[in-house]
């Protein structure tokens, strides 16, 4: 197993550790959870970089890397509902987009088509990670200067989630319309 795939597996194993520190009431637990989330999010960029740089892109990595990302982000978003820091409708919207685009990719793959990550998809991921970190840190340091960056970052994450979802669906409409002939 190559290094990139090991990082993906580490990210998956960090999900329950992250949730433990976030949801169990222990001193500084939310800050430890934020650190773990940041570490896990960084492994996402790192494993992809390593796989491409070393020419070690594998079927395992192509399948597990996006799954690891979805597990991490979904666990964080659902936990933030539990903590009262995020509305359920926002999480449902974000997770619904993930299911829709994953379904589109599966359908495309069944027809021998690969749907690569788009620029909007990358912006969506970054905006979601920033929003989650901001919420985990209770808007620190922005709360010190009375800037509602947490609300702004969540709004941007929702906007970019919708834009990227519509972008994927529009650009790949041939995949889901081809069966309607």
Q: Identify the segments of the chain with pLDDT beneath 50.
A: 181
Structure token pair of residue 108: 């495309």
What are φ and ψ of residue 155, in 5° steps? -60, -45
Q: Mark whether 130 and 155 lie in a shared domain.
A: yes
- Using an 8 Å Cβ cutoff, are 19 and 79 in contact? yes
Residues 100 and 177 placed together within one structural domain of the fold: yes
Q: What is the pTM of this model?
A: 0.90
Cβ atoms of 11 and 72 closer than 8 Å: yes
State the pLDDT at residue 180.
52
Number of domains in the chain: 2
**Residue 67 and residue 110 in one domain:** no
Indicate if 53 and 106 belong to the same structural domain: no
Question: Do residues 80 and 91 both lie within one domain?
Answer: no
Domain end point (choices 53, 84, 115): 84
The domain containing residue 57 runs over which residues?
1-84
What pLDDT shows up at residue 181?
47
What is the per-residue pLDDT across 13-57, written as a single tens digit (0 to 9) for each?
999 999 999 999 999 999 999 999 999 999 988 888 888 898 888
Q: Distance between CA 76 and CA 157 in Å, rounded? A: 14
Same domain, 93 and 22: no
Q: How many residues would you count in the chain? A: 181
Task: For residue 43, give the CATH number of its domain.
Answer: 1.20.120.1760
Same domain, 134 and 60: no
Which residues lie below 8 Å from residue 34, measured CB to CB, with a gap of 6+?
133, 136, 137
Secondary structure percentages of the chain, helix, strand, coil, to 5 = 80, 0, 20
Nearest alpha carbon to residue 105 among 151, 79, 73, 69: 69
Predicted pLDDT at 106: 87
Q: Are residues 62 and 132 in the same domain?
A: no
């Amino acid at each position: 197993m190559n290094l990139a795939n090991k990082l993906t597996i580490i990210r998956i194993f960090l999900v329950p550790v992250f949730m433990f520190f976030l949801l169990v009431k222990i001193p500084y637990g939310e800050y430890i959870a934020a650190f773990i989330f940041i570490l896990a999010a960084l492994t996402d960029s790192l494993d992809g970089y390593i796989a491409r740089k070393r020419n070690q892109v594998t079927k395992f990595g192509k399948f597990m890397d996006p799954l690891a990302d979805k597990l991490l982000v979904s666990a964080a978003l659902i936990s933030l509902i539990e903590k009262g820091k995020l509305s359920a409708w926002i999480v449902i919207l974000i997770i619904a987009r993930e299911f829709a685009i994953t379904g589109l990719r599966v359908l495309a793959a069944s027809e021998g088509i690969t749907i690569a990550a788009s620029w909007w998809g990358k912006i969506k991921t970054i905006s979601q990670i920033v929003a989650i970190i901001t919420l985990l840190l209770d808007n620190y340091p922005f709360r010190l200067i009375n800037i509602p960056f947490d609300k702004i970052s969540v709004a941007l994450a929702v906007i970019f989630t919708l834009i990227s979802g519509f972008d994927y669906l529009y650009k790949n409409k041939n995949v889901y319309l081809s069966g309607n002939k």
